[in-house]
Amino acid sequence: MIGDNAKGALVDLRSDTVTRPSAGMRRAMIEAPLGDDVFGDDPTVNRLQAHAAKLLGFPHALLFPSGTQSNLAALMSHCGRGEEVIVGQEAHTYRYEAGGGAVLGSIQPQPLANRPDGTLDLAEIEAAIKPDDPHFARTRLLALENTIGGKAIPRGYLDEALKLAKRRNLATHLDGARIFNAAAALGVSARELCRGFDSVSVCLSKGLGAPAGTLLLGNDAFIARARRARKILGGAMRQAGVIAAAGLYALEHNVARLAEDHDNAQRLAHGLREAGFEVQGPHTNMVFVAAPAGFADHMVNNEVLVLAGARTRLVTHLDVDAAGIERALAAARAFHRRG
Ligand SMILES: *Cc1c(COP(=O)(O)O)cnc(C)c1O
């Protein structure tokens, strides 16, 4: 049924990407005026890009099918062949994007360990910048992520990191797939957390609830390069207004409510601790649980979907309400009582 978000059936805590478009979002998609975005004349895409650029404080925004592609296009727009990006070991764009920067961009990653709070040590960043010498790749870019592993990186750290990048002539990219979660957790605007970066990538398909779509933001020259990279990567779409309409709806309706997801994550973490589980977090909408053998299977058998793994990440989102959290906790408590 259109708009049936399967509430009351499965409680799906695998990721905030599992949300289905709501009835209102689907209506917006159906009714969106459309054109051919490769010719630049899809009015809904143009409206989304203009809205996002204004909201986040950049001259331009460009719609991509996915966050992986927008991050890769950003790397390719900042770095040429044989150039280097400094990036966290835990960063999505280093660890979870199949090495795309190296495979398709001929860009060398220089990963650094993320500290427990998700940040990179500034002295380590500085030490990793290569001298201008033919032995070395040319260090071009510093890429950060916010939130990372659910952890919100505060403005003070960003200021320090951006200052260092500027002093050392590095471009800066922020993977802000969940930047609105970071903003909600820190009590600042997303725009404030994007300020000073040369480019930012923002997912519409995570906690914001759209079925697809990521925005890449930057200035004129950067976006011109990113548009070319998007074409190379096969990401230029035609009547993309269908997707953009969902993104507009998401930005208008689903940002303020992210605090509910964070509340639900608090409730989940608290309940799991009370039930005797070893818990880390919550960090924004994520809770990490040391899962004993058989935990994931037990939860799935009780209609609570979680990913298997020794350290399981549970993610709250707009298709899990407080009642869903109670059902997840009831299933988790039953794990200890099972015969
Ligand atoms: C999900 C995610 C991406 C990639 O988004 P896809 O749309 O799944 O390709 C990039 N960065 C971060 C931090 C993410 O969580």
DSSP 288: E
16 Cβ below 6 A of ligand 1: no
CA–centroid distance, 141 to ligand 1, in Å, is 19
- Residue 72 near residue 97 (C-beta atoms within 8 A): yes
> Ligand 1: which of 147, 206, 283, 317 to mutate, most ligand atoms within 8 Å of CB?
206
- Residue 287 near residue 268 (C-beta atoms within 8 A): yes
pLDDT for 3 equals 41
CA–centroid distance, 282 to ligand 1, in Å, is 20
Q: Is 149 left (phi over 0), alpha (psi -120 to 50) or beta?
A: left
Q: In whole angstroms, what is the distance from residue 171 CA to residue 78 CA?
A: 7
CA–centroid distance, 105 to ligand 1, in Å, is 18
Buried/exposed 141-170: b ≥16 CB within 10 Å, e otherwise: bbbbbbbbbbbbbbeebbeebbebbeeeeb
71 Cβ below 6 A of ligand 1: yes
Residue 5, Cβ density class (10 Å: 0-12 exposed, 13-18 middle, ≥19 buried) = middle
Domains belonging to the chain, first-starting first, are: 11-20+257-338 (3.90.1150.10), 32-253 (3.40.640.10)
Q: What is the end-to-end Cα distance of the chain in Å, rounded? A: 38
175 Cβ below 6 A of ligand 1: yes
CA–centroid distance, 12 to ligand 1, in Å, is 18
CA–centroid distance, 276 to ligand 1, in Å, is 32
Q: In whole angstroms, what is the distance from residue 296 CA to residue 164 CA?
A: 43
φ, ψ (nearest 5 deg) of residue 307? -80, 145
319 Cβ below 6 A of ligand 1: no
- Residue 312 near residue 289 (C-beta atoms within 8 A): yes
Residue closest via CA to ligand 1's atom 6 equals 67
Closest ligand 1 atom number to CA of residue 65: 7
φ, ψ (nearest 5 deg) of residue 316? -95, 155
Closest ligand 1 atom number to CA of residue 91: 13
- Residue 130 near residue 84 (C-beta atoms within 8 A): yes
Kindly list the averaged pLDDT for each block of 10 residues, start to end, along the chain of length 339: 54 97 98 98 98 98 98 98 98 97 98 98 98 97 98 98 98 98 98 98 97 98 98 98 98 98 98 96 97 94 95 97 97 87
Helices (H), the chain: 23-31, 43-56, 67-78, 92-95, 100-105, 122-128, 155-167, 179-186, 190-194, 220-232, 241-253, 258-274, 295-301, 322-337
67 Cβ below 6 A of ligand 1: yes
Residue type (1 letter), 125: I
> Ligand 1: which of 69, 147, 202, 203 to mutate, most ligand atoms within 8 Å of CB?
203
Q: In whole angstroms, what is the distance from residue 309 CA to residue 152 CA?
A: 24
Q: In whole angstroms, what is the distance from residue 88 CA to residue 117 CA?
A: 12
203 Cβ below 6 A of ligand 1: yes
In residues, how long is the chain? 339
DSSP 37: G
pLDDT for 4 equals 47
DSSP 39: G
- Residue 84 near residue 58 (C-beta atoms within 8 A): no
- Residue 229 near residue 64 (C-beta atoms within 8 A): no
The C-alpha angle 98, 104, 110, rounded to 5 degrees, equals: 65
CA–centroid distance, 92 to ligand 1, in Å, is 7
- What predicted TM-score, i.e. pTM, was given to this entire model? 0.96
Residue closest via CA to ligand 1's atom 5 equals 67
